[in-house]
């Protein structure tokens, strides 16, 4: 885990005091709500339908048990005893009082956390692969570079009033769990032929009204050039990005309207001016940060120990969980454990104060005190001994955090939707709950296999519906909620935008429609080896469309 030094701590403390002054000026009436808005937004404070919402940054999704306990404590003390994990590895509190927010930030600062740049038209919290440092085949730990970018982007004087928000994601693996191709900048850590570490630079991806898969504008930017190249992209965007229409202001529109070749030329022209100089990333800083992410003191263990294998044989419920929720660890005898925040019929991503505290305890006991938040709104314990898995599973069951559905049909991403959000046109959470209930039978879920459903309550696409294997978009038609279904999207290395199936469905019909799509897949797949996504890519949407609309 990265630890603050005096510079980092001083900076965050000073930021808290600055925000305290801003809130005081708002409460005294010196600042109008309009004037206060850009200030609070730069600190993750939104005004929602019913209350303020505070979005806390979890840089690159990595949390210590101490930090998670603090998040639990804050939720109990200042909120309603729960938090909500978002699709950008942040945590949201839905009910804080404005007057308390400076104190909440001060409490966060005591555990080296903040809410900097979790909203506003600035460089947002940098996200990363939740399996960073533990995935087999990783070129390098993406968190090192995410931390470099976190610091460089913090209150950047030039890039705090961009045309629109700017999101960066980074992965160190060819397997993309960080959805880098739907980010404004997506980075893949790669090695060139000389064995040097660098980055593939993907630019101009994004969801929202105009879903676009990013374009690779440079297949290898050397490590030392990370900041100069990023600054070149940001400067071109800040000067040329559209300011006349907020719906056309993201960098994806600039890249499309300029043309990727011309855009790349502009970036390279800018880069040539700043490449040699103070933006060069010194290797000693990389090494300093790398030391914080050194592997924990793993024991030398045999893979697949007998006590683990016996439990797999003896307890089918444990085996189901192990099948869905575990991922291979790069160290023999260890596993990566995913904690589902998607209990059947539950609210995706919500977690109570007592669950957070219990997870912190389990992390201390089983995972070197470390937790990860995933963009799919689950939690991960990154280093668990395989021989401890059964005990951990039993503990997680008691906490309702062991639903064996990670990557399956009920592991649904959903935005807060009309239950909380001022922008939403339709509810998302109850749709996720209905679908989850419909597929409650775990045997059926495992039979269906990998299937990602993603639900957004409006065109802004916070629920990533465009890149769901099944995407659901809530729309408003004359005051009534309708839901449009898309098929075949993906946020991974094979990123694609889903295709619209046909006319939208009413709130009461959408669950049936999803079930119909799933049944069509089960009927027409070339055996259980063909996943839902593979079949959609093989057949296109036609058979699904026929089954769905002809039946109606």
Partner 1 sequence: MKLLKDGKPVSDDWTHLDDADPAPAAGGIIVSLARWREERDALLKRGQVGIRLKSDEAPAQIRDDLGHFGVIALEFPVYRDGRAFSYARLLRERFGYKGELRAVGNVLFDQLAFMHRCGFDTFEVQKDPDADRFAEALSTFSMRYQRAADDAPTALELRHKARRNVAQEGR
> Between 158 and 304, whose beta carbon lies closer to partner 1?
158
> Between 27 and 440, whose beta carbon lies closer to partner 1?
27
**DSSP secondary structure letter of residue 248:** G
> Between 25 and 537, whose beta carbon lies closer to partner 1?
25
Q: Does residue 375 contact residue 349 with C-beta atoms inside 8 Å?
A: no
Q: Measured between alpha carbons, how far is 510 from 412 in angstroms, rounded to an integer?
A: 14
> Between 28 and 278, whose beta carbon lies closer to partner 1?
278
Say whether residue 258 binds partner 1 (CB under 8 A): no
Q: Measured between alpha carbons, how far is 151 from 148 in angstroms, rounded to an integer?
A: 5
Q: In sequence order, what DSSP letters do the residues of 376-445 get, joined into one string?
A: TS-EEEEEEEGGGHHHHHHHHHHTT---S-TTSTT--EE--GGGT-SS-SS--HHHHHHHHHHT--HHHH
Stretch that binds partner 1, among 33-41, 55-63, 73-81, 383-391 (CB under 8 A): 33-41
State in angstroms the smallest separation of the CB of 44 from partner 1: 16
> Between 4 and 78, whose beta carbon lies closer to partner 1?
4
Say whether residue 243 binds partner 1 (CB under 8 A): yes
Say whether residue 39 binds partner 1 (CB under 8 A): yes
User: Could you say which of 3, 14, 447, 503 contacts partner 1 (CB under 8 A)?
Assistant: 14
Q: Measured between alpha carbons, how far is 516 from 261 in angstroms, rounded to an integer?
A: 43
**Would you state the torsion angle of the CA atoms of residues 98, 420, 343, 89, taken in this order, to the nearest 10 degrees?**
-60
Say whether residue 5 binds partner 1 (CB under 8 A): yes
Q: Measured between alpha carbons, how far is 373 from 58 in angstroms, rounded to an integer?
A: 8
> Between 38 and 540, whose beta carbon lies closer to partner 1?
38
CA angle 463, 468, 472 (to 5 degrees): 60
Considering only residues 50 to 79 of the shown chain, the ones binding partner 1 according to CB under 8 A are none
Say whether residue 110 binds partner 1 (CB under 8 A): no
Report H helices in 491-541. 510-524, 532-539
Q: By CB under 8 A, how many residues form the interface with partner 1?
A: 37
Stretch that binds partner 1, among 156-164, 386-394, 444-452, 461-469 (CB under 8 A): 156-164
Q: Measured between alpha carbons, how far is 114 from 126 in angstroms, rounded to an integer?
A: 13
User: Could you say which of 66, 110, 160, 519 contacts partner 1 (CB under 8 A)?
Assistant: 160
> Between 80 and 288, whose beta carbon lies closer to partner 1?
288
Output the CA torsion sign for 294, 137, 131, 134.
negative
Q: Measured between alpha carbons, how far is 229 from 268 in angstroms, rounded to an integer?
A: 8
Q: Measured between alpha carbons, how far is 114 from 335 in angstroms, rounded to an integer?
A: 30
Stretch that binds partner 1, among 277-285, 401-409, 429-437, 505-513 (CB under 8 A): 277-285
Q: Measured between alpha carbons, how far is 361 from 391 in angstroms, rounded to an integer?
A: 13
**The pair of three-digit structure tokens given for residue 151, joined into one six-digit string:** 């610091």
State in angstroms the smallest separation of the CB of 322 from partner 1: 43
> Between 116 and 418, whose beta carbon lies closer to partner 1?
116
State in angstroms the smallest separation of the CB of 194 from partner 1: 26
Considering only residues 469 to 528 of the shown chain, the ones binding partner 1 according to CB under 8 A are none
> Between 166 and 505, whose beta carbon lies closer to partner 1?
166
Q: Is 217 helix (H, G, I), strand (E, B) or coil?
A: strand
Residue showing tokens 């049944």 = 519
User: Could you say which of 58, 146, 162, 402 contacts partner 1 (CB under 8 A)?
Assistant: 162
User: Could you say which of 48, 151, 268, 519 contacts partner 1 (CB under 8 A)?
Assistant: 151
> Between 162 and 462, whose beta carbon lies closer to partner 1?
162
What does the binding site for partner 1 look like in residue numbers (CB under 8 A)? 5, 7-8, 10-11, 14-15, 17-18, 22, 35, 38-39, 121, 151-162, 235, 238-239, 243, 273, 278-279, 282, 284-285, 288
């Amino acid at each position: 885990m990265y630890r603050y030094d005096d510079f980092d701590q001083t900076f965050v403390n000073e930021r808290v005091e600055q925000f305290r002054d801003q809130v005081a000026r708002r409460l005294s009436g010196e600042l109008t709500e309009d004037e206060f808005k850009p200030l609070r937004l730069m600190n993750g404070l939104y005004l929602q339908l019913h209350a303020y919402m505070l979005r806390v940054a979890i840089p690159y999704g990595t949390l210590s048990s101490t930090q998670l306990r603090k998040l639990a404590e804050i939720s109990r003390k200042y909120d309603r005893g729960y938090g909500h994990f978002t699709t950008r590895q942040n945590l949201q509190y839905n009910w804080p009082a404005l007057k308390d927010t400076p104190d909440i930030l001060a409490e966060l600062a005591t555990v080296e956390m903040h809410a900097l740049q979790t909203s506003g038209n600035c460089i947002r919290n940098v996200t990363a692969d939740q399996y960073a440092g533990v995935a087999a085949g990783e070129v390098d730990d993406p968190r090192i570079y995410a931390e470099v970018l976190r610091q460089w982007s913090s209150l950047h004087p030039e890039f705090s009033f961009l045309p629109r928000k700017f999101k960066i994601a980074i992965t160190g693996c060819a397997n993309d769990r960080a959805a880098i191709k739907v980010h404004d900048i997506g980075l893949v850590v790669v090695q060139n032929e000389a064995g040097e570490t660098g980055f593939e630079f993907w630019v101009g991806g994004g969801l929202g009204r105009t879903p676009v898969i990013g374009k690779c504008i440079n297949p290898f930017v050397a490590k030392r050039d990370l900041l100069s190249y990023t600054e070149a992209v940001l400067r071109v965007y800040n000067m040329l990005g559209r300011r006349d229409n907020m719906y056309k202001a993201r960098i994806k529109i600039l890249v499309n309207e300029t043309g990727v070749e011309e855009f790349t030329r502009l970036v390279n022209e800018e880069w040539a001016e700043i490449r040699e100089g103070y933006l060069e990333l010194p290797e000693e800083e990389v090494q300093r940060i790398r030391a914080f992410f050194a592997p924990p003191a793993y024991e030398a263990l045999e893979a697949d120990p007998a006590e683990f294998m016996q439990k797999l044989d003896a307890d089918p419920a444990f085996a189901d969980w192990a099948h869905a929720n575990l991922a291979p660890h790069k160290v023999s005898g260890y596993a990566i454990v995913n904690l589902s925040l998607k209990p059947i019929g539950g609210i995706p991503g919500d977690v109570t104060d007592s669950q957070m505290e219990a997870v912190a305890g389990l992390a201390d006991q089983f995972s070197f005190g470390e937790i990860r938040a995933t963009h799919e709104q689950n939690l991960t314990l990154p280093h668990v001994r395989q021989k401890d898995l059964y005990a951990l599973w039993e503990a997680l069951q008691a906490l309702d955090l062991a639903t064996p559905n990670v990557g399956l049909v009920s592991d649904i991403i959903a935005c807060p939707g009309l239950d909380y959000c001022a922008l939403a046109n339709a509810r998302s959470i109850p749709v996720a709950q209905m679908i989850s209930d419909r597929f409650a039978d775990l045997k059926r879920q495992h039979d269906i296999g990998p299937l990602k459903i993603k639900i957004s309550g409006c065109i802004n696409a916070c629920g990533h519906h465009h890149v769901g294997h099944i995407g659901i978009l809530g729309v408003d038609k004359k005051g009534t909620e309708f839901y449009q279904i898309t098929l075949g999207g993906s946020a991974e290395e094979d990123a694609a935008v889903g295709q619209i199936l046909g006319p939208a469905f009413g709130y009461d019909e959408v669950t049936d429609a999803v079930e119909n799509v799933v049944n069509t897949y089960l009927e027409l797949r070339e055996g259980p080896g063909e996943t839902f996504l593979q079949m959609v890519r093989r057949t296109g949407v036609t058979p699904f469309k026929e089954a769905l609309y002809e039946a109606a």
